Amino acid sequence: MVASTNYVLCLFGMTCAISSVTSTLYKKIPGFSLHGYTIDVKNVKSLGKCGEICTANSACFSFNFELGSPTGMMSQCELKYCSLDANNSALVPDATMTYYERISGEPTSPAIPLCNTCVHAPCQNGGTCTVAGPFPSNFTCQCLQNFSGTACELQDGDCGGTPTYTGVSTIATSDGRIFEAYCDQGWTYVFNRFDGSENFNRSWVEFQQGFGDVNLEHFIGLDNLASILNQRSYKAKFDLVTWPSSNLNPATGFAEFSSFTMANASDKYRINIGGYSGTAGDSMSFQNGQQFTTYDQDNDSRDNENCAVTFKGAWWHASCHYSSLFGIYEQEPTCRAFALCVCWANYPGGNHHYSFKEAVMKLHRV
């Protein structure tokens, strides 16, 4: 018996009841300690205190206790967030620490988690886990097709690998770029505008890098977009939502283009787009073949004038535009001046004075 406000009763040197808090039992594994899986380390006066701390912590299921500390000295108590797994390589010979594994608790206690990394499901998106060593980081994942990364957390190339998923994914393109994108049933969002919360009147460098929150208003970035498009063939789709007060018909429209390509920075992100179908009208044919222009990088075809400065929005301007979805966001359908706003001029009933409530561009594999 240990003389303390906490006491330990060990039966046959193997099973210990550590009390003063609960009747939780711990199995003693002499000569071994558990490496890894540590949630906290405490300095305590006794084995009983170490067990009491673990029992009182809902996240603790076993512990290592330091042996042979001089009288009056503190002993190290390592709290573990799991319990020994059979034949687990994390249990190693140790002359200074002893491992204690919880084997009982209250009837309503949750199941004791095993010290097996794969039990904690580190592999995402349906990947298969294999334990590779004694620590939580020691695992390998066999990823399903279209996924990669240490935990299969990366979608390869675009959102096309998960045609039923809607939400944010981490994309890894074939040339090594890794970034977040919003996915919608196999479509990869290029940009989203719906409330004017994000400033789209940005510099060349900002458009290259991308900006905003992919869950909200954002632009994916020209370099990321070029990286996606360099991998395979894609179609592009523009989704537009009108203001209810304007009574335009249709209230929501789309313009889909069966072919969409874009150069990289060396050709100023020049686009080639064609094969229109939809309900919103074709407002991109006038922009076809154009380089990207911002207020500080004039690549449009208009002499002695920067269209992004004149019309307050970056775009693939010609001289200048029939669409400009990066223009000023109005909180109403009427634009403050000709062609300055979120513009898609060939929409049925629309014109250069109309500003759309919502605008999305997205890509899909062909």
Profile the chain (366 residues) by mean pLDDT over runs of 10 residues. Answer: 38 50 75 88 92 89 83 86 68 90 62 70 86 74 88 90 92 94 97 98 98 98 98 97 96 98 98 98 98 98 96 97 98 97 97 98 98
Question: What pLDDT, on the 0 to 100 scale, is given for residue 4?
Answer: 33
User: Dihedral, CA atoms, 265, 267, 268, 272, nearest 10 degrees?
Assistant: -110
Give CA–CA dist 322/319, Å, rounded. Answer: 10
| Shared domain check, 190 and 245 | yes
Domain CATH for 229: 3.90.215.10
Query: Residues 146, 246: one domain?
Result: no
- Is the preceding peptide bond at 163 cis, omega within 30 degrees of 0? no
Contacts of 49 (CB under 8 A, 6+ apart): 4, 6, 77
Q: Tokens standing for 93?
A: 């010979």
Q: What is the pLDDT of residue 137?
A: 72
CATH number for the domain harbouring residue 128: 2.10.25.10
User: What is the domain extent for residue 233?
Assistant: 153-365
| CATH number of 28's domain | 3.50.4.10
Residue 17 lies in a domain: yes
Whether 198 and 332 share a structural domain? yes
SS3 of 66, please?
A: strand
pLDDT for residue 3: 31
- Cα separations in angstroms, 91 against 76, 83, 115, 246, 262: 18, 10, 10, 70, 55
Read off the tokens for 222. 């020209």
What is the C-alpha separation between 321 and 20, in angstroms, rounded? 78
- Same domain for 182 and 228, yes or no, is yes
Domain count, the chain: 3
> What span, in angstroms and rounded, lies between the C-alpha atoms of 219 and 231?
20
Q: Which residue has the tokens 């029939």?
A: 322
160 and 253 co-located in one domain: yes
Q: Are strands 166-172 and 154-156 parallel, antiparallel or unpaired?
A: parallel
Nearest to 270 by CA among 283, 257, 261, 280: 261
Report the pLDDT value the prediction gives residue 97, as an integer from 0 to 100: 92
* Same domain for 161 and 122: no
Does 201 lie in the same domain as 137?
A: no
- The identity of residue 343, as a single letter, is C
Among the candidates 68, 102, 136, a domain finishes at: 102
Do you know the residue count of the chain? Answer: 366
Q: Does residue 46 sit in the same domain as residue 195?
A: no
Q: Is the same domain home to 95 and 124?
A: no
pLDDT of residue 70: 65
Integer CA distances (angstroms), 202 to 211, 214, 293, 328, 341, in order? 9, 17, 11, 12, 15
The pLDDT assigned to 6 comes to 39
In order, the DSSP letters of 296-341 are: TB--SSSTT--HHHHTTS-B--SSS-SEETTSBPPSSSB-SSTT-B
Rg (CA), the chain: 31
Asked if 96 and 179 sit in the same domain, the reply is no
Q: Which residue has the tokens 């076809």?
A: 288
Q: DSSP letters of 153-199?
A: -EEESSGGG-TT-EEEEEEE-TTS-EEEEEEETTEEEEEEESSS-S-
pLDDT, residue 102, reads: 82
Question: Are residues 160 and 52 both part of a single domain?
Answer: no
Q: Are 167 and 254 in contact (CB under 8 A)?
A: no
- Preceding omega of 320 cis (within 30 degrees of 0): yes
List Cα–Cα distances, 41 to 71, 78, 80, 285, in angstroms: 20, 5, 9, 66
* Within-domain flag for 108: no
Residues 358 and 215 in one domain: yes
CB 228 within 8 A of CB 171: yes
Give residue 82's pLDDT: 82
